[in-house]
Structure 1
Amino acid sequence: MATTDRKFTATEESTSKHPHDWGRAMAVAICRLADMAREAGDPVHHEALVGEDLHLFVEDTEDGVNITMSWTPREQGTVPPAPPALPAGDSANGDDPGDDDPHSASGQRFDPTGGSTAGLGQ
């Protein structure tokens, strides 16, 4: 990328003060970062953000929070740092050791309910 000296920042509002409700605002802000880079002249796709350091700032508002995501693109050709590895044979989710979910940084399956049982069985 040619934008190594640029920093892109996007802010979106969430009408909730509960972190489990902030996903949409975060996703929109992240997509806007790639859009801004494209508008600045870089041929950036959303996939270019994978492996990048994105910074999150949450600001309290009267009705919820503002989610601010910022990104400073690395120099083109720089190798991203390797993600932390789980110890060999460690299965954090209790399944087959080779079956860890690649979408979870902790090696555990994502639970969209956050462990809540509210509404089950109704």
Structure 2
Amino acid sequence: AATALGALGPRAAVAAPRLRGLLAHEELWLRVDAAVALWEVTGRSQETTEALLADWERSRHVRVRVAECVARMGPVPEGSAAAHVLRSELASVRRHNAMDGGYGSHDIHEDEKLLELCRRALRGTGKGTTA
């Protein structure tokens, strides 16, 4: 539902308080989807970026989704928490999806996608809002 609201963009701004309330939900993916949708309906990146970066640290599995949103937000301010997180990811020798003793065939593609999204966010070449 959060994703559908986000797809509506500013037309769903009336749902912003409900989406904001979901930023504290215990379910990780719901929080991420709510944060992305909140940005899509309000265009305000500060509160959503904070929530997205917190979940980035909690789980490597959400990093591509978070990076997609951050890249779409536009230029990441130099010296910001987001810039620090993205630059740390780019500099990391151990990749975000590395598992001890195993890998999946999609791991390389997902990792390359994450790195490109981090670069795009730092360059500010995202696509902007979906609205």
Name the structure where strand makes up a greater proportion of residues: 1
Per the normalisation by structure 2, the TM-score is 0.27
Per the normalisation by structure 1, the TM-score is 0.28
